[in-house]
Chain A
Amino acid sequence: MPIPTARDTTRSISANIVSAGLPRRQLLGVSAVAVAALISQKPAWAADKTVVLGCSIPLSGPAAPTGITTQRTVEHALDLINQKGIQIGPDRYTIVAQFYDNKYVPAEAVTVVEKMLADGVKFIFSSGSGNSVPVVGKTTAAKVLQMSGASGKDHLTGPQFPYSFRVQPTNETAYALYPWLRSNYPDLKRVAHMNPSDEAGYTESEDRRMIATKNGFTNVANEYFKRGATDFYPVATRLTGVNAELIDFGGTIGRDQALAAKALRELGYKGKIMLGYSDAKSFVDIAGADAAEGTILFDTLAAPQNPAEKEFNDWWLGKYGPPMPSFAYTMYDWPFMLAEAMRKAQSVDPVAVSVALRELIFQGLFGEAKFGMKSVYGLESSITRDIPIAVIKGGVPVPLALVPWPKDV
C-alpha cells in the first residue's frame, strides 16, 4: 500500500472532500446530523391499540439455538393471543413483538435495551442472565416491565426490582428436583456438578450444591468448562475420577450436554446423568443412543400430553419441520400470562400490569403456574409450576414424572 507522507495528504484531503473544503472533523458532524435525521423518525407502530413487546435475545453466536427457539415460540404464542386480542375497556389490543439480537454480549444487550427504552417500549423480554442482569436496573428505573428467561438470583429478582419477573425456572428447578430425587432414589448419595464457566453456570452451581446438601446429598465435585468447548475428555476424566453416582449438568445447554455425556460414557462413567434445557433429539443424535440411554431430563416434556401442547407441537412440526426442541415448551406460558395480566389489570401500564402479574394464577401447559418464591427472593417474582421429568429410553425421551412445586418455597 503506497502511502504518501503525512504532510502532502492533509491539505489535499481537506481541499478535496466534497462540499467545498470540509475537513474531516466536519465530516463527523455531517454524519452525525444524518443519523439524527434517521433516528428521529419514530417507528410507525407507536400508535394506538398495539402494545410492543421488545425481545432481547441471542440470535447469533453460540447461544443462538436458544434465541431462535425463543423467537419462534413467542411468535406463535402472540399469534394465538392476538386472534382474540386483549380487551381493555373499549379498545382491543394486540401485542407486537420486536426482536433484537444481543449476541449474548452484555454491551449489545445494553445497547438493545437502550434502543427499546428510547423507542418507548414498555414491556421487555430478555434471554440469558448475562443480558438480563446489566439492564434490570435501567428497566426498573424506567418503570418498564422486564421478563427474563435466565438464571438468576437476587441481582435480578427481588423487592428492589418490582417490575422484574423470572419466567423460566432455571436454577430454581433444583428446589423441586432434589427432594424428588431424594425420595425416588434413596440410595443415591454422591452428586457431582458440571457447569459452563459463566454467569449462568456459577449461579446454577451455587444453588444446586446448596440444595443438594440440604436434601442430604454429598457434593463430590464441582467442575466448570468453557462454554462451546469441543473436547470434553479433560473435564470428563476429572469427573470419572470422583466416583459420583449422579452428575448434574446444571446450566449446561445445547451441544455441550451431548458431547459431555458422550465423553463421560466413553471414559467408563456408569452413574446417572441429569440435565435440562435440552432438545432431546439433538442430544441423542450427537451423544449417540448408547451414551444417551438413561439420561434424566429435567423440565423437559417428553411428548405432548394435553391439547395445548399438542397444538404447539403440531404447529411447530408443520412450519419448521422436526425436530421440535423440547425446551420450547418451557418458554410458552409467559406471553399468555402477560396478556392475561393486562386483561386483569385492564391496563397496558407496566406498573399496573406488574401488580396483576404478581397475583395471577394461570393454567399453563404444565398445570397451575404463578409467580412466587417470596421465601427465597423477598418478593414473588420467579415462576413456580410443576416440573416435568423425562428419561431417555431406547433413544427417545419418555415421560418419567411430573414433580410438583414444593409448597414451602
Chain B
Amino acid sequence: MTSRTGIVLGIVLLALLPVVIRDEYFLHVMVMIEINVVMAVSLWLLGITGLISFGQAGFMFIGAMTTALLMKLGGWSFWVSLPLSAIMAAVVSAPVGRLSLRVKGVYFFLITLAFGEVVRGVFAYFEHPFGGWYGIRDIPPPSPAAIFTGMGKMPFYYLGLMLMLVTCAVIYRISRSWFGSVLWNIRESDVLAGSIGVDVPGFKLVAFIGSAFFSGLAGSFYATYIGYISPLVFTFEYSTNTLIFVVVGGFANIGGPIVGAVLLTLVSEGFRSIGKYQSMAFGLILVASVLLMPTGLIGAAQGWRERSQRRRRAVVPAADRQG
C-alpha cells in the first residue's frame, strides 16, 4: 500500500536526518517542531469531539513542572519522570474536564483559557517549590548523561522523534477506532449521539484527558530539553499558536495538525529576523485561514483534488454520461 510504504520511507528519512545534517541550530528547530506536533495533535484529538481548548499550555506546564521537580529536586530519572508527568497532567485534567465539560461552545473556551491562566498564576505565585516568576532553572538532561550531554542535540532529536511518532501513532489509531468514530459523531451532533445511547460527556472526558496526557508528555520533554521553564513560556499565546497549527493545517485527519505544526514552526523561524512582525503574520495567517480555507490546508488540498477529478471525468464521451 502506497501510504504505508510512504510512511516508512518518511520515518527512515527523519531518522537519517541528523546524520546528514549536522547543524545544531537545525536540530534545535526540528526538536521544537517535534514538540509542536505533539501539542497540535493532542489538541486535534480533543477537536474531533468539537471542543476547542485554550488550556493546552496549562497541561503542558503541569507536565513540565512535574518533570522539573522530580528530576531536579528528587533526582529521579527522566525515564520515570516522563510517564509520571503525563499521568499527572491527565490526573489534573480529570476534575477540570468534569467541570469544564458541563458547558459548551464559547463557555468551554473561556473555562479552558481560565484554567491555563490559573495554572500559570499558581506556579508563578509560589516561589517554593514552583520557582515563581523565576521559573525553574538547570533541569538536568535525561540519563545516560554521556549521551545527552556529550553529543549535542542529536539524542534529543531522536528522543523527540520517538515521542512524536508514538503520539501520532496512538492518536491516529484512536481516531480511526470505534472510539474515534464516536467522537466524530459527537462533533456532528451530540444531541443525536446522545439520543442513540452514547455517553456523550463520558467520551468527551476521555478525549479531554487523553489530550491533556499528551500535552503533559510534550511539556516533560520540553523541560528536560530546554532545561529552563517559567510562567512566561506557557501562556495563552502559546495555546493560541497550537490552535493556529490545527486550524491552518485542517481538521479532517491527523495530517492537518502535523502539517500545520511543521509549516508554521518553520515559518516562525524564518520570521525570526523580523521578530516584531511575527505575531502579525500569525494573526493574518489565522484570519486568512479561517476565511479562505476553513477546512485548512489538507481540506483545501482535498478540494483541489476533487475538483481536478471532476474535470477529468467531464472529458468522458457523451455516450457514457448516463444520468
Which residues of chain A have a CB within 8 Å of any CB of chain B?
1-7, 9-17, 21-29, 31-33, 35-36, 39-40, 59-60, 64, 100-101, 103-107, 110-112, 114-115, 117-119, 130, 133-134, 137, 155, 197-199, 201-202
Contact = CB atoms under 8 A, between A and B. Distances in A.
B285 interface: no
Interface stretch (B76-84, B133-141, B206-214): B133-141
A199 B262 contact: no
A157 to B, nearest CB: 15
A60 B279 CA distance: 10
A26 B263 CA distance: 13
Contact of B226 (A5, A59, A106): A106
Given A1-B295, A26-B6, A106-B233, A15 B11 contact: no
A36 B17 contact: yes
Contact of B135 (A1, A101, A106): A106
Nearest to A110: B226
Contacts of A39: 21, 23, 25-26
Contacts of B28: 111, 114-115, 118
B199 interface: no
Given A24-B259, A31-B263, A12 B305 contact: yes
Interface residues of B, number: 65
A330 B64 CA distance: 38
A155 B110 CA distance: 39
Interface string B166-199: 0000000001100011001001100000000000
A23 B254 CA distance: 11
Contact of B13 (A29, A64, A199): A29
19 contacts: A3-B252, A13-B301, A25-B258, A27-B10, A27-B259, A27-B262, A29-B9, A31-B266, A35-B266, A60-B276, A106-B135, A110-B226, A112-B272, A117-B24, A118-B26, A119-B25, A134-B227, A199-B133, A201-B133
B294 interface: yes
Contacts of B68: none
Interface of B: 2-3, 6-7, 9-11, 13-14, 17, 20-21, 23-26, 28-30, 32, 124, 127, 132-135, 137-138, 175-176, 180-181, 184, 187-188, 226-228, 230, 232-233, 251-255, 258-259, 262-263, 266, 272-273, 275-276, 278-279, 294-295, 298, 301-302, 304-306
A198 B137 contact: no
A13 B255 contact: yes
B13 A111 contact: no
Given A9-B252, A9-B253, 14 more contacts: A1-B295, A15-B305, A23-B2, A23-B7, A24-B255, A24-B298, A27-B255, A28-B262, A29-B9, A36-B26, A101-B275, A106-B228, A115-B25, A198-B134
A25 B295 contact: no
Contacts of B227: 134
Nearest to B254: A24
Contact of A155 (B29, B137, B276): B137
A130 B232 CA distance: 10
Contacts of B187: 3
Nearest to A141: B149
Nearest to A198: B133
A6 B258 contact: no
Contacts of B14: 28-29, 32
Contacts of A35: 26, 29, 266
A16 B132 contact: no
A114 B230 CA distance: 19
A39 B132 CA distance: 37
A99 B48 CA distance: 42
Contact of B302 (A12, A24, A101, A155): A12
Given A3-B187, A13-B252, A114-B25, A26 B30 contact: no
A24 B294 contact: no
Tell me which of B17, B138, B263, B275 has the highest count of chain A C-beta atoms within 10 A of its own C-beta: B275
A62 to B, nearest CB: 11
B303 to A, nearest CB: 10
Tell me which of A13, A22, A39, A59 has the highest count of chain B C-beta atoms within 10 A of its own C-beta: A13
Given A32-B13, A114-B24, A197-B133, A107 B233 contact: yes
A14 B6 contact: yes
B97 to A, nearest CB: 23
B306 to A, nearest CB: 8
Contact of A59 (B26, B262, B275): B275
Nearest to A112: B272
Closest 4 CB pairs of A and B: A101-B275, A25-B10, A118-B25, A24-B255
A111 B24 CA distance: 10
B21 A40 contact: yes
A39 B181 CA distance: 42
B180 A6 contact: yes
B275 A17 contact: no
Given A16-B302, A36-B17, A134-B227, A100 B266 contact: no
B172 to A, nearest CB: 9
A23 B251 contact: no
B88 to A, nearest CB: 21
A3 B13 contact: no
Contacts of B180: 6
Tell me which of A2, A23, A112, A133 has the highest count of chain B C-beta atoms within 10 A of its own C-beta: A23
Nearest to B176: A6
Nearest to B222: A107
